[in-house]
Structure formats: C-alpha cells, structure tokens
Amino acid sequence: MRTIKIFLASSSELKEDRDQFDIFINEENKRLIHKEVFLEVVQWEYFQDSLSLTSKQDDYNKAIQNSQIVICLFFTKAGKYTQEEFDTALKQFKETGSPLIYTYFRAGAPEPDPTDQMALDLAAFKKRLSDIGHFYTQYDDIGDLKYQFRKQLDLLEDKGIIVLQQEVQEKTKDAVTNYFNSKNMVTGTVSAGGDVNIGDKIKNTSTTQGDNNIVIQGVTASTITVNVDGQTKEIEKKLDVLTAFMEQLSTKSIQAADKKYNIKDITNANFGYLIGQAGREKSLPVELAENLIGEGDGWIESLRQELERKQKISVSKPTKPLEIIQNYGWLVEIFLQKMLTPTGRKKDLRRLSFMVEAWQGSLRYLCYIQVAQLLQMEIKPKLGIVSDFLEMEGDEYLTFDYSSLLLVTTAEIGADGFMPELTDFVDELNDTGSSLYPTALFLEKQRNLLLKNEIKEDERLPALLDEYLTALVYWLRKVSFLAKYRMVSIKEINLDYRLGTAKNFVHLYGELHGFYGETGSRLKDYDTKWVEDAFTYSKSVLLFRGSNVSSGLDQIQNDGAYLNLSPLIIDQSVYATKPTQTPEIYYYSGLDKLRRCYGYALYKNEIVVDDKKIASSNKMLEIKAQNNNQPQLDELFEQLEHIFKPLKRKDNG
C-alpha cells in the first residue's frame, strides 16, 4: 500500500472547508484502496496566521517537506507566516520536484480595503503566484472545491505523481528561480472591478485602475496582441497567461471581435475558438464562395446525398423534400420547411430569417444534448458558461453564445457521451484552419446583423441569400449525424395488467420528426407502444439512437439507449388542462430571477425582421411556482429548481 501525504493548510476562517475536505479525502480512499493507494491528510487543527516561528513552526515546515502534495486554502487574507509556509513548499519543490502545490481561493471575498494590510498582502501574493506561472483556482463552495481537486486526482491516477511532478517542474523551473530572486520586491497595487477588451492599451504605471477594457486586436500562432486604454501589448497565446494578465489588471471580461466574454466562461475548450476571431474577416470561406448552391431546390439534393453517403440512410428523391429534411428533427426542420413555402422562396429578409434560425436551431439542439448529460451527472461540474445559460434573462437566449457552450460541454463530457459523433464535429469546429470554423463565424455574424436590423432589402441581398444558403447547407451536411437519432415526446404511461398476465406499460408517444406533411398533420400525432415489464419517463422528451422509435422503446431497460432532454425541451401539451392531439414543443429560454419564473420559447417562433413586430404566432411559456391555468406545471417548476440548482452560481442561485 502506497501512502501519499497531503498537507492541508488554511487560515482559521476556512476551518469548516478544511474539515469537510478531510472527510472528502476519506471517501476517496474507499475508491482508491483497490489500487493500493492511501491518501493521508496532515493538518494543524487550530492553525492560525499568527503562529510564531518556534519549534512548532519547525515541525510544521518539516511536515510540509515530507508531504507529496500541499494544498493551501485562502479567502480574505494571506498572512506573513502563511506565505512562508507556501515558500517552504516551493523551495522544497525547486530542489526536489516535490511536493505538488495547489492553491485555492474561495469566492465571495469582499473588495479589498486599501487600508487593510492583510488585504493588500493577499493581492500581492496572487500576483506573485502569477509571476511563477502558478495559477490558482477559485472555488465557490466546498462542493466545488471537491470537484476541482477530484479532477487533479484523476490526472494523478492517469500519469502518476512522479511524472506529473517532472512535467510541472520543467514548466516552472526558471520562473520559480526568478521568484526567489525577487520575492521581496514591492509590488504595485491593483484596483478591482474593470473589464479588459482584447485590443486596447496598458498604461505603464504601478497602479492600474479597474476600468480597463481589454480588446484582442490580433492573433498569431504563438502570440495575442491586446489593447488596453490605447496601448498595445503582446502576450503568449495561452489561456493561463491571459488569465494572469487579466488578474494583474483586476479585470473580469475581454472583448474578441464584436463580443465580450467573461473570463470565467473561457476554458481551454473554447479559448482557441474565441480568440481566433480577432482580426478575421467573417466572410464565407473562399472554397464555398466559389461554389455557391445557386437557384432552386438543389440544396435539398445535396442534403439527400449526404444522408445516404455518410449516414447510410435511404431517403426519397427531391420530389418529396420533406422526407429529407425531417431527418433533422423539429427544432431544425420547421425552418427548412418554411424555406420551401411561397413566402420562404422570396428573395427577402423573411427567407434569410428562416435560414438563420435553421442554423441556430441545430446549434441549440446540439447544446441541449450536451447540457442534458451534465444535468444527469452524479457529480455536476461547475462551468461558468453553463450557469450563464441556465440564468439567461429576457431576450438573451436569442444571442447567447451557444458555440462556446457546445465546445465547453463537449470537452467536459469527452468522447464517451450519448452522441459520440459530436466529438469529431466539435474538434473540426474548434480548428481555426478548417472550413467549418469560418463557416460558423459567417453564419453567426449574419444572424446577429439581422437581429440588429443592419441588413437591408437592397440589390445586395440576393447575393447574400445565396451565400448564406451555401453556408447553411455545408453546416447541415456536417451535422447530418442527427438523422441517426429520433426525438420523442412521452405523453403518458399506463399500466395494462391482469392477474396471470405480464405487466405491460403502455407508452403514448409522439415522434418529433416530420409530423407535418404537405397536406397537414398526420391522422395520429401520438402512437402507442406496449413494453413488457419496463417503462420510461412520463411527460418527458427523449432522444433515441436509431431511426425507428418503436424499436428504440424496446430498449428502454438500457439507460444508455436514450437521453432525457427534459427539462431543456418540454412538450407543453402533456401539462395542459385541455388535452391536445398535437405536441407543442418548447425549448428553454432562461430565468426571470426577480419573478422566480422559468421561460420557454415555442420551437417554431420567428425572429424580428426589419423592425416589424414579432409574429402573432410566436408563443412563450412561463413556468412559475404557482401556475393557476395549468396546475401540472407546479411540479415542473419544482423539478427545475432541483435540477438546475447544482449548476447555477451560488451567488445567483
């Protein structure tokens, strides 16, 4: 049995977190014992910053030197002796490569008082951490701290502690040496509260005010050019370097191209995608611009060929285009259908609105698939962009950064997610040298311009429509794997059982693909399926693998055969007091915090075009704590509160 000693240090203000962390390590030992590894926590029960340099302190330093891992927790202060304990561990690491050092700062600390030396020492200590490339981690609560360190344990299990020590030492060797040469230097103070946009300038002063706006102006293979307050600076093209730079300026957000990003929402998963936009012309890629789709319904044939060639799905010739586009599901196909109507064929902004929503609908759909998996994880990850998604307000859902949400959630889920094809798709989307990357930027840019009413119906519009259609079809071909899945609404489940017979669970379900044909809806919008001795979730929207829903329902004993998309997508009709025959699908649109009300938008809602009022057919659904018109929604509200809470930010929850 190998014992790994973990020295846990913190000031007395974090005693409760320290104790809970100790319990967490004991729980981890139950999992690790079969690998013959035991984690031993070493801590001083009543450690305080005022501890004097006596023999006790010598024992304390010796305990650090004999540990393989040192964890330091901070909140509002970093006292003189606390920092000396960190230096003891760092000196030992410099000489031997051990221990591994992790520093965690609890969120929610008040703004530092400029007259409080402890607060100033904390700011200076953070800067010194940045100087040596030791970028600390912020945690929201003890649950978040457990999650953060559990990821480090996974890394240790994968690589082994010796290999990891060597990798960390190689990266920080020179910086640590410089740190000890200059750690007694006086550092300038930094005021908190500003934003940084990538592309402004930095004032060369020891004090930086908190109103900086950092803008990314340019990106090369290895560097980022940023502008702060009119002055430019070049930094290394790494997320940790950018984070440290922003920490020095006490800034919270950056601007890339025409969008501003909260630094908490940027991870290694979407870092390249976001900064790659700087200085890039968001036009249709040349290879697509030279081969436009052109007039007519040739784009339908292009989709058909992709479905048959790539996904091996046999579909009809373009004489029945609805049988082709229905493979993409309601969230996408509704706008493709609208493109085929007399209104949708006109060379005007209405046609463009149908196309931009077909793209947005597919992007949202992919995000729902990934977020749904996070909601169902036993240990839910703390991701800033997921919190932002769950707490969208007003019309934010119309312009939310779904691309980043898709990149971050896919990285968190990995290659073993419910829809494995998404991993390769996201890798290509995140590759700034691919054709998909600039295509996505072009699709998003034109949609944003349309939302801002900055596209006019003039002589340039027909060419733009052809370009957008070409980009949309290229995108749809890339997500043609959606045809291998079927979205289904489970309206209700009844038990059919008589003494001496098998238990049959009767599922009343509606397949959310191609419900509406050229002559209207089908005669039966909900079908029935008898399943012996097994049932799935009532009042839910499920995603099944395969193109046959009936055979998919036969596999409901296997949890991995389907994914529950509720409550991100719901069928409003199953909650209605007056039952309706046709499903009414709504997708999640955010939270009204003041009214404690969750919002949903009808899947076929259109966007505002040319300053016209929203179409009267647009519908929104509000889920409140008390829903007098639809009492069954009360239960849904309780589910939303329970399911979403672990993924929200604590200060907003």
* Mean pLDDT of the 625-630 span: 86
CA-to-CA distance for 22 and 16, rounded, in angstroms?
Answer: 10
> Rounded to two decimals, what is the model's pTM?
0.68
Partner residues linked to 520 by β-bridges: 517
- Which value, to the nearest 10 degrees, does the dihedral of the CA atoms of residues 238, 152, 432, 281 take? -60
Of 283, 370, 294, 340, the C-alpha closest to 518 is 340
Between the alpha carbon of residue 467 and those of residues 277, 306, 428, the distances in Å are 20, 20, 21
Of 377, 431, 429, the C-alpha closest to 403 is 429
Q: Which residues contact 505 (CB under 8 A, 6 or more apart)?
A: 493, 494, 495, 496, 530, 531, 532, 533, 534, 535
**Confidence at residue 330, expressed as pLDDT on a 0 to 100 scale:** 92
**Confidence at residue 111, expressed as pLDDT on a 0 to 100 scale:** 72
Which residue would you say has higher pLDDT here, 360 or 139?
360
Phi, psi of 114 (to 5 degrees): -60, -15
Token pair recorded at residue 464: 């733009």
CA-to-CA distance for 134 and 83, rounded, in angstroms?
Answer: 14
**Confidence at residue 620, expressed as pLDDT on a 0 to 100 scale:** 93
Token pair recorded at residue 322: 């609805």
Percent of the chain with pLDDT over 70: 80
- Residue 204 pLDDT grade (very low, low, confident, very high; cuts 50, 70, 90): very low
Task: Kindly provide the residue ranges of all beta strands, DSSP E only, lying in 214-267, ordered along the sequence.
Answer: 214-219, 223-228, 231-236, 253-256, 259-262
Instruction: Let me know: does 373 contact 405? Beta carbons within 8 Å.
Output: no
**Confidence at residue 81, expressed as pLDDT on a 0 to 100 scale:** 67
- Residue 205 pLDDT grade (very low, low, confident, very high; cuts 50, 70, 90): very low
| DSSP annotation of 204 | -
Which residue would you say has higher pLDDT here, 566 or 77?
566
Of 138, 129, 137, 206, the C-alpha closest to 175 is 129
DSSP helix/strand/coil, 591? strand
User: Position of tokens 């060379």?
Assistant: 347
Pairing of strands 100-106, 137-139: parallel
Between the alpha carbon of residue 105 and those of residues 102, 138, 629, the distances in Å are 10, 5, 47
Instruction: Let me know if 199 is exposed, middle or buried by CB neighbors in 10 A (0-12, 13-18, 19+).
Output: buried
CA-to-CA distance for 497 and 164, rounded, in angstroms?
Answer: 59
Encode burial over 293-314: b for 16+ CB neighbours within 10 A, e otherwise: beeeeebbebbbebbeeebebe
Q: Which residues contact 638 (CB under 8 A, 6 or more apart)?
A: none
| DSSP annotation of 198 | B
Instruction: Let me know: does 20 contact 142? Beta carbons within 8 Å.
Output: yes
**Confidence at residue 468, expressed as pLDDT on a 0 to 100 scale:** 96
Q: How many CA atoms lie within 13 A of 207 on its CB side?
A: 5
**Using CA of residue 606, residue 610, residue 614, residue 617, what is the dihedral sign?**
negative
Put the strands of the sheet holding 223-228 in their side by side order.
231-236, 223-228, 214-219, 253-256, 259-262
* Mean pLDDT of the 616-640 span: 87
Residue 606: which H helix or E strand, with range? none
- Residue 423 pLDDT grade (very low, low, confident, very high; cuts 50, 70, 90): very high
Pairing of strands 2-10, 37-42: parallel
Of 542, 540, 543, 507, the C-alpha closest to 526 is 507
- Amino acid at residue number 99: P
* Selection from 235-244, 286-295, 319-328, 353-362 with the highest mean pLDDT: 353-362
- Where do the H-state alpha helices sit in 66-216? 80-96, 117-131, 142-159, 161-182
Token pair recorded at residue 563: 């994914």
Task: Kindly provide the residue ranges of all beta strands, DSSP E only, lying in 334-484, ordered along the sequence.
Answer: none
**Bond into 567 cis (ω within 30):** yes
Alpha carbon 404 to its chain centroid, in Å, reads 6
* Mean pLDDT of the 285-301 span: 88
- Residue 585 pLDDT grade (very low, low, confident, very high; cuts 50, 70, 90): very high
Q: Which residues contact 5 (CB under 8 A, 6 or more apart)?
A: 40, 42, 66, 67, 68, 69
> Is a pLDDT exceeding 50 seen at residue 523?
no
Token pair recorded at residue 384: 């800033």
* Mean pLDDT of the 568-578 span: 84
> Is a pLDDT exceeding 50 seen at residue 516?
no
> Is a pLDDT exceeding 50 seen at residue 575?
yes
CA-to-CA distance for 219 and 472, rounded, in angstroms?
Answer: 27
> Is a pLDDT exceeding 60 seen at residue 653?
no
Mean confidence (pLDDT) of the chain: 80
- Residue 316 pLDDT grade (very low, low, confident, very high; cuts 50, 70, 90): low
Alpha carbon 86 to its chain centroid, in Å, reads 33
